[in-house]
Amino acid sequence: MTPEMEFAMEAATMSADSIKAIAMAIAAGFGVLGPGIGLGILVSKALEAIGRNPEAAGQIQATMFIGIAFVEALAIFALVVAFIIKFA
């Protein structure tokens, strides 16, 4: 067998662990991309609203923190799915 054929056979029989590692990286990367963008938009809009109406700062902050908790839960869920892909 030629060296090229041996290399092709090694590449074709990639181990399941390496495929799982790549899948975990992709799932975690895309899974936290959306919540990261969402957090930036959420906080910027909350600060914009507080700048327009400072008297409502307490109510806006409370709503913002609830929204942040939900967005962070999505990111944590994506990381859990990534770990399930890796270790299952």
pLDDT in tens, 10-66: 776 777 788 888 899 999 999 999 999 999 999 999 999 999 999 999 999 999 999
Tokens, residue 2: 């030629």
| pTM score, whole prediction | 0.72
Quick one: pLDDT band at residue 7, thresholds 50, 70, 90? Answer: confident
Confidence check: pLDDT of 68 > 70 = yes
Instruction: Tell me, rounded to whole angstroms, the distance of Cα 76 from its chain centroid.
Output: 8
Give the Cα separation of 71 and 78 in Å (integer).
11
pLDDT at position 17: 80
75, 42 in Cβ contact below 8 A? no
Nearest to 78 by CA among 44, 40, 30, 41: 30
State the residue for tokens 């029989």.
13
Q: What is the pLDDT of residue 3?
A: 78
- Classify domain 17-87 at the CATH superfamily level: F1F0 ATP synthase subunit C (1.20.20.10)
Domain chopping of the chain, boundaries:
17-87
Residue 12 pLDDT: 67
